[in-house]
Amino acid sequence: MTATAGRPILEAEGVARQFGRFVALGGVDLALEAGEKRALIGPNGAGKSTFINVVGGQLAASAGTIRLDGRDVTGLQPHQLARSGLGRTFQISRTYRQMSVRENLVAAYLVARGHGYSLSRGRLRALAAEAEALLERVGIAGLAERPADDISHGDRKRLEFAMVLAGEPRLLLLDEPTAGMGLKERHELMDLVAEEASGRGLTLLFVEHDIDVVFRIADRITVMARGQVFAEGTADEIAADREVQRIYLGEGH
Amino acid sequence: MSAARIDWRIVAAGCLAVLAAIALGGRGGAPLVTEMLLMALFASSLNLLMSYGGMVSFGHAAFFGLGAYGLALAVSRFGLPVAAGLACGPLLAGLLALVFGTLCVRLSHIYFAMLTLACGQITFTVLFQWYDFTGGDTGITGFMAPAFGLDERWFAVVVLGVVVACLLALWRVVNAPLGITIRSVGEDPERVSASGLNPRRVQLTAFVIAGTLAGVAGSLFAALQGNAFPDYAGLGFTLDSLIMVVLGGLRSFGGGLYGAVIYVLLRNYVPLLVTEWELVIGVILLLVVLWSPEGFAGGLQRIGRRLRSEPRP
């Protein structure tokens, strides 16, 4: 690992996860510098999503330590991690399908601001303008009244991203943010993600299969294979790595 | 289910209709209306869990029964005045909802439902077996004059006041931030969790609100009859509440209300026509689930939409 200035915002040490006898993660070490954009790539079954789920608290680690801003957060519940500044999207975007796009975002704001249990409707009015502005920024303001179930897959990804931004996270985990999207949509969404991350000084860890997207966005790339970190480096380093080409880039190219 | 203001015209019209039914309904009118109102509150409390919180409870009558026993025990065993007893009922129901809820929200879906069933059956069994305290299967009787000794019509008016107040409070809850949070958890607890709120606590909050309101209904039901029986906490009442919500309409605030009116009417008038009235209810339930899964309220909405989008000359 390269030594860079500043303290890592996320440090994973020997993070392992087993499902019965199947080892999904066999001791992953990974550190993210504050503000960097890191792509997590690797063939299917490499353990990328499992790693994201362990860091996000959706899955418990079988072994290892995870530190957020230097604080040991291993074993914390997702809502505790979210309050510590971790935001995430899911591989299959999770939104409140029967609620309108606006309500989805308002719900996210309420939770983020600690008003989830409030009985005051004034809180809702106070958030309306903010929600509107954020919908505008992610480009779905025109869909505000529509149920989340009713909008396109890509727009739902944008909505989920906005919901995460509402929580003002410092670390953002995106699990295949562009899965199932067309080429153009995909680039537009990731440009938006990169822009918001840079503008807000967020640290980004994203799982991505589209190599063009990865090279376009990521400062650094971590390659996983079979539950291990296989290689790590800048885009150029990874592109030049023969072994990586063999196990990953060669496939399907 | 969009957040909306209370339409006071509808509230006033509904209250007037109920008052008219009480005044003009003759001998049987007032008790029937009272039963309808209490069932409406009971079903609406379950509807908070089902339509908003995404939780199906198979033990909701436990809290109805505990409301009834809270009153009956407070008056008969502890010598409290009836007015204090009426507060004890919902309190007992709410407390037990906190205890049972803490246990039940640990699991989801069918497992949650099975836990609520178990809690309901435990409550029923305790009420049924603890002769020294609860009177067992003979229940508790004679601790107060039925309907406070009021004329049945005046009692119905009192119940109307309480039920309307409770439903307005419930409306307030579902349209406040808390209501949005409860719906969020009903839709996707994982998203709520990843956003920074413990979904189990939200579910527990909804469970306690629902249990307390069911307790209010149960207390007043016991006050109406002047008795409390274990059946009030039994599976029969639980099924009644589930059927009312489904008949009235899932995903609608009015679901419990409509369902109670329809169900109580059917239960009272169908037996006059056919002996196997449960069969009729069964068939109706079948038709509703197949053709209008969102119940009476869903049917109304569909008709409303059709009228608006296809104006006939």
Say if residues A171 and A66 touch (Cβ distance below 8 Å). no
Min Cα separation B289/chain A (Å): 19
Please give the average per-residue pLDDT across B80-103, as a whole number. Answer: 97
Q: Give the domain range for residue A119.
A: 97-168
CA atoms of B175 and A102, how far apart (whole Å) = 14
Residues of B in contact with A83 (CB under 8 A): 196
Can you say how many angstroms the Cα of residue A47 is from the centroid of all Cα atoms in its chain? 15
- Here the tokens at position A117 are 């249990």
Residues of B in contact with A118 (CB under 8 A): 176-178
Nearest Cα to A148, choosing from B223, B188, B18?
A: B188
CA atoms of A172 and A36, how far apart (whole Å) = 11
Nearest Cα to B195, choosing from A109, A115, A69, A118?
A: A109
Kindly state whether A144 is in contact with chain B, defined as any CB-CB distance less than 8 angstroms: no
pLDDT tens across A221-240, in order?
Answer: 999 999 999 999 998 899 88
CA atoms of B257 and B298, how far apart (whole Å) = 13
- Check residue A117 and give its pLDDT: 97
pLDDT tens across B36-76, in order?
Answer: 999 999 999 999 999 999 999 999 999 999 999 999 999 99
Nearest Cα to B92, choosing from B239, B257, B228?
A: B228
Interface contact A103-B3, CB threshold 8 A: yes
Min Cα separation A207/chain B (Å): 17
Q: A91 in a domain, yes or no? A: no
Residues of A in contact with B1 (CB under 8 A): 98
Same domain (yes/no): A67, A103? no
CA atoms of B187 and A108, how far apart (whole Å) = 13
Measured in degrees and rounded to the nearest 5, phi and psi for residue A43 equal -65, 165
Min Cα separation A239/chain B (Å): 34
Same domain (yes/no): A17, A138? no
pLDDT over 60 at B82, yes or no: yes
Min Cα separation B55/chain A (Å): 15
Residues A107, A109, A112, CA angle at the centre, nearest 5°? 110
Min Cα separation A228/chain B (Å): 25
Nearest-Cα residue of chain A relative to residue B185: A96
Nearest Cα to B105, choosing from B210, B16, B259?
A: B210
Element holding B84 (H helix, E strand): helix B82-104
Interface contact B176-A120, CB threshold 8 A: yes
Length of chain A: 253
B313: amino acid identity, one letter: P
At which residue do the structure tokens 């409306």 appear? B171
User: CB A145: neighbour CB atoms within 10 A?
Assistant: 11
Same domain (yes/no): A1, A78? yes
A217: left (phi over 0), alpha (psi -120 to 50) or beta: alpha
Please give the average per-residue pLDDT across B80-84, as a whole number. Answer: 95
Min Cα separation A176/chain B (Å): 16
Collapsing DSSP states into helix, strand and coil, what is residue A204? strand
Say if residues B171 and B6 touch (Cβ distance below 8 Å). yes
- Check residue A11 and give its pLDDT: 97
Q: What is the DSSP letter of A100?
A: B
Last residue of a domain, one of A152, A168, A184: A168
CA atoms of B225 and B239, how far apart (whole Å) = 21
Same domain (yes/no): A241, A161? no
Same domain (yes/no): A81, A174? yes
Same domain (yes/no): A154, A247? no
Q: A69 in a domain, yes or no? A: yes
pLDDT over 90 at A88, yes or no: yes
Nearest Cα to A172, choosing from A138, A199, A206?
A: A206
Interface contact B181-A98, CB threshold 8 A: no
A143: amino acid identity, one letter: L
Write down the ipTM of this complex: 0.92
Q: Which residues of B touch A (CB under 8 A)?
A: 1-3, 172-173, 175-178, 180-181, 183-184, 187-188, 190-199, 202, 205, 251
Same domain (yes/no): A107, A73? no
Element holding B6 (H helix, E strand): none
Say if residues A189 and A158 touch (Cβ distance below 8 Å). yes
Burial of B311 (0-12, 13-18, 19+ CB in 10 A): exposed
Please give the average per-residue pLDDT across B15-19, as a whole number. Answer: 95
How many domains, in total, are found in chain A? 2
Same domain (yes/no): A36, A17? yes
With DSSP H G I counted as helix, E B as strand and the rest as coil, what are the percentages for chain A, rounded to 5? 40, 25, 35
Last residue of a domain, one of A136, A168, A200: A168
pLDDT over 80 at B3, yes or no: no
Between positions 41 and 60 of A, the ones with CB within 8 A of B are 56, 58
Across the interface, of B172, B195, B251, the residue whose CB is closest to A111 is B195
Interface contact A94-B175, CB threshold 8 A: no
Last residue of a domain, one of A146, A168, A190: A168
CA atoms of B186 and B246, how far apart (whole Å) = 17
Residues of A in contact with B3 (CB under 8 A): 103, 121, 124
Same domain (yes/no): A194, A245? yes
HEC letters along A114-157: CCCCCCCCHHHHHHHHHHHHHHHHHCCHHHCCCEHHHCCHHHHH
B60: left (phi over 0), alpha (psi -120 to 50) or beta: alpha
Which of the four CATH numbers 3.40.710, 1.10.3470, 3.40.50, 1.10.10 does domain B8-308 have? 1.10.3470
Same domain (yes/no): A152, A180? no
Nearest-Cα residue of chain B relative to residue A85: B196
Interface contact B177-A56, CB threshold 8 A: no
Kindly state whether A154 is in contact with chain B, defined as any CB-CB distance less than 8 angstroms: no
CATH code of A49's domain: 3.40.50.300
CA atoms of A29 and B202, how far apart (whole Å) = 35
The full set of domain ranges for chain B reads: 8-308
- Check residue A247 and give its pLDDT: 74
Top mean-pLDDT range of A199-208, A230-239, B288-297: A199-208
At A76, the pLDDT band (50, 70, 90 cuts) reads very high
Buried residues in A57-73 as b, exposed as e (16+ CB within 10 A): bbbebbebebbbeeeeb
- Check residue B2 and give its pLDDT: 45
At B293, the pLDDT band (50, 70, 90 cuts) reads confident
Nearest-Cα residue of chain A relative to residue B173: A119
- Here the tokens at position A76 are 């914390």
Nearest Cα to A76, choosing from B198, B29, B192, B41?
A: B198
Kindly state whether A159 is in contact with chain B, defined as any CB-CB distance less than 8 angstroms: no
- Check residue B257 and give its pLDDT: 96
- Check residue A242 and give its pLDDT: 87
Residues of B in contact with A82 (CB under 8 A): 193-196
pLDDT over 50 at A4, yes or no: no
Nearest-Cα residue of chain A relative to residue B195: A82
Residues of B in contact with A111 (CB under 8 A): 181, 184, 192, 195-197
Kindly state whether A78 is in contact with chain B, defined as any CB-CB distance less than 8 angstroms: yes
pLDDT over 70 at A142, yes or no: yes
Residues of A in contact with B2 (CB under 8 A): 100
Q: A90 in a domain, yes or no? A: no
B22: left (phi over 0), alpha (psi -120 to 50) or beta: alpha
Same domain (yes/no): A6, A81? yes
C-alpha torsion A141→A144→A150→A153, nearest 10: 30
Same domain (yes/no): A210, A231? yes
Across the interface, of B2, B178, B194, the residue whose CB is closest to A117 is B178
Residues of B in contact with A116 (CB under 8 A): 177-178, 181, 197, 202
Residues of A in contact with B53 (CB under 8 A): none
Interface contact A118-B176, CB threshold 8 A: yes
Interface test with A, best of B195, B207, B250 (most A CBs within 10 A): B195
pTM: 0.93
- Check residue A244 and give its pLDDT: 83
Buried residues in B4-23 as b, exposed as e (16+ CB within 10 A): eeeeeeeeeeeeeebeeebe
Beta bridge partners of B14: none
Structural Rg of chain A based on CA atoms: 18
CA atoms of B199 and B54, how far apart (whole Å) = 12
CA atoms of A112 and A96, how far apart (whole Å) = 16
Burial of B29 (0-12, 13-18, 19+ CB in 10 A): middle
Buried residues in B174-207 as b, exposed as e (16+ CB within 10 A): bbbbbbbbbbbbbbbbebbbbbbbbbbbbbbbbb
